Structures are given as structure tokens and as C-alpha cells.
Amino acid sequence: MDSDEFRMWSRRVADWGVDYRESLRERPVRARTKPGDIARQIADSAPEAGEPMEVIFADFERIVPDGLTHWQHPRFFAYFPANAAPASVVADYLVTAIAAQCMLWQTSPAATEMETRVVDWLRQALGLPVGFAGVIQDSASTATLAAVLVMRERALKWAGNREGLSAHPAVRVYASEQVHTSVDRAIWISGIGADNLVRIPTKGPLHGMDPEALDAAIRADLANGLLPAGVVACTGGTSIGACDPIDRVAEVAHAYGLYLHVDAAWAGSAMICPEFRTLWEGIDGADSIVFNPHKWLGAQFDCSVQFLKHPEEQVRTLAIHPEYLKTHGHDGIINYSEWSVPLGRRFRALKLWFLMRHHGLEGLRTMIRNHVAWSVELAGRLAAEPDFEIVTEPVLSLFSFRHRGGEDADRHNLALVQAINDDGRIYLTQTRVAGAIAIRFQAGQFDMTRDDMEVAFATITEVARSLK
């Protein structure tokens, strides 16, 4: 492809992106595709001879958009959002054009130094004290894995990477049932083993970990010769938004010298609003915190920020220095690949820089406050309907509900989610609360308006009544 063609296609693709965004309200949110529909339209093998871009692009338009679930649809209320504000998309176009691999300072000084700056902007925006340094990871799962590896290494006096775990007492990590499954995976991958992830019961309206039960579990493990290493707490768990009492959990963890990692992958974005910070009161006591600006804040996927009180411990756990990665003459400079599991890294800081500068923190706060207010309002309206019940009250913009109807409540509510998603105006997902199916609702899409919430209310109530 020569420069003229590259220029023409870059412009055409940018135009297509804008048209696509403008078309979203006319599209069903969840893909209507059946398994295999897309694969059938794609050749079995790569062509031997090159094809014109025009042909490839026509196939793209024919096959792909209708085969997508539209995450940027303003009425996406499923899972958690994966927002991509236009300003961050534009930044990512630049990142794609530059195509730098930013593993070391010297492989992309601008990326490294901008990362240090924008992550500190976020630290200030979230109200975290000076002393937390941060790094952008590809996902919260990777950040949590890194944190679990640090807990393990600290507890094993930095011998685990070298010796493995077999010669040591079992390493123990504590978390409630409400943490995301990325914690389970981190425990598997780190070799700690699922049996050594100790589940601490929860209590209270926020379904938070019981600190007394945590204390008792650690004491019991010590008495049995096991090796308590760390606690993974959550602020805004995936299922129903559970929040552990971080201040009390930190007190217990630190009394035993344990490492505390807090997963605020979704709820962390809301902490730019001071009034929501009560949900993670005591966060200063964490050793590591992860939150995903790619969820609620508007930074295009992927963008996960991990704050660390002692980054040198993570570097000690993860850094490795073969000659081919040494940066002679640049000792003491940050090489962010030493803070993370993958070596290669995208230039992720640019989209945060564009996003925060274009919207300003106040613009982003307004968006989050609207989502919370609209979600609370919707929960109230559903609660006032005789055939709906609120199962878990809103935590920020997430709540769960159930429709009363049918003999088998689980089957009825699963059928309702399916029917709502087939309707296409909105997209929801389900969860289990105390063993029973509940329907999750979260408001968080960057472009949604209050009118979209009206459509949500109308769709939920109309479809539920049509099922009877």
C-alpha cells in the first residue's frame, strides 16, 4: 500500500467510525448472529494473491457490523461498560499509526514519561495520597496476577520464583466470594492453588468481607503452620457491586504483615467524585489498587491502572534483565515492562491524556453522577411496580432485580433476560444472588442520556408483561 492509498483508507475508516457511532441507536444492542454465521462467510485459508482494499472493505461492511454486540451503544446495560469516548478513540488512531512498542523507556520515552504523568493525574483525581505510583496494565486480571505474585514472593522472602513452592508451607490468600474470577485465576497461575484461596464470609448491605472472620481465618492458618500472604479486597464486585470495608480489612491485614490488593476495576472510576469515596474508606491502607479507566471512565479498551505503594516490590518480583533488554547508560529510569507480566506494551497513556484534557475531570464527574442518579431512579421505578422486586439495592449505578411471574422464578427471569435481549432495544445480563437468578442492571455507557433510561424502563416492563 502506497502513501496515497494509506491516506485515503485512513480517512475512509475514520469516516466509517463516525457513521457507525451515529447509527448505534438504530441497531439491536446484542448481536442477532447465530454461532457459525460469521465463520461461514470467511474463507477457509488466506489468499495466495493480494486482494484490493475495496473488496476487503466491502466484505468487512457486509460481514462484521451486524455480527457485533455494540459495546458503544448508548443502551448497553449489561456486564460493565467498555467505554471508548471519541477523544480516546482519536488518540488510539494515533497510537495505531505510530505503532510503538513501549516496553522500555528507551523504546518510547514519550510513552513512558506520559504514563508517569497521566497515572499521577488519576491518582490525584481519585483522591489517593502522594506515595502511590502507578502503571498502566492491559487488564485488571494482569494487575491482580502481578499483585498476587508480589504477595507470594513477600511471604516467601523472595524465594518462590527461584525455588518454586513445594519446599514451603502453603501460601494463603484471603478474599470474599464477591471478588471477580480474575482472583481465582491469579491464584491458579501463581501456583498457590485454589485450595489456598480462603473465602471469608460477607455481611451487611454492601456484602463486604467480615473483618473478624478474616482475622480468625488468618489466626487459624498461622496456628496450623500455613503461610498467610495477602488479602484481595473488592470495591464494586462484578456481580452486585459488593464493597469490602477497606479500612477494617487493611487493619487486619497489616496487623499480620499481609499485603492488601484492592480490585476496584469498575467502581474505581467513580472515585473521581469525592462523595462516592466512602465506598473505599481507608484505601490509603492498600498496597496495590487496580481500576479500569476502560470500563466507566471512557478510555478505549484496553487500559487498566494499577497503583502501588511499593513499586520496587513488584519490580523485584517481575523484572528480569537479559543482556538484550539492558538499557546501558539509563540506569534508574522507569522501564514499565518490569512492573508487569507482559514484556510488550502499547502506548496506552495517550488516550488517557486526550480523554482527561478534552472532558476535564468535571465533565467526567458529571457523566458518572448522571449514571448513578438515573440508575437509582430506575431502581425506584421498578420497585414501585407490583410485579418487580429489587434484589440488591444500587451500589453506584449497579443494581439487580427480579420479575415476579411464572412458577419457576429462575427459569422465568432467565427467559426474561433472553426476551429483553432479543427485543434489541437494550442489553442486560443476569447473575446469582444467594443462589437465585437476578437480573443485573448497570448504567455507564458514555453516550447514554436520560431518554435511554426511559427506553430501558419501557423495554423491561413491556417485555416482562408480554411473557406472562
CB of 47 to ligand PLP, least distance (A): 34
Single out the residue of 108, 182, 300, 442 in contact with ligand PLP (rule: CB under 6 A). 182
Residue closer to ligand PLP by CB (options 115, 263) is: 263
User: Counting contacts by CB under 6 A, is residue 337 touching ligand PLP?
Assistant: no
Contacts (CB under 6 A) with ligand PLP, residues 110-139: 139
Residue closer to ligand PLP by CB (options 139, 314) is: 139
Single out the residue of 140, 145, 192, 279 in contact with ligand PLP (rule: CB under 6 A). 140
User: Counting contacts by CB under 6 A, is residue 265 touching ligand PLP?
Assistant: yes
User: Counting contacts by CB under 6 A, is residue 238 touching ligand PLP?
Assistant: yes
Residue closer to ligand PLP by CB (options 141, 335) is: 141
User: Counting contacts by CB under 6 A, is residue 180 touching ligand PLP?
Assistant: yes
User: Counting contacts by CB under 6 A, is residue 263 touching ligand PLP?
Assistant: yes
CB of 289 to ligand PLP, least distance (A): 12
User: Counting contacts by CB under 6 A, is residue 304 touching ligand PLP?
Assistant: yes
Residue 282: name the closest of 257, 311, 253 by CA.
Answer: 253
Part of the chain binding ligand PLP (CB under 6 A), chosen from 94-102, 260-268, 370-378, 446-454? 260-268
Part of the chain binding ligand PLP (CB under 6 A), chosen from 94-102, 223-231, 258-266, 433-441? 258-266
CB of 456 to ligand PLP, least distance (A): 20
CB of 136 to ligand PLP, least distance (A): 12
What x-and-dash track marks residues 266-295 binding ligand PLP by CB under 6 A?
Answer: x-------------------------x---
The site for ligand PLP (CB under 6 A) is made up of 80, 139-141, 180, 182, 237-238, 263, 265-266, 292, 304
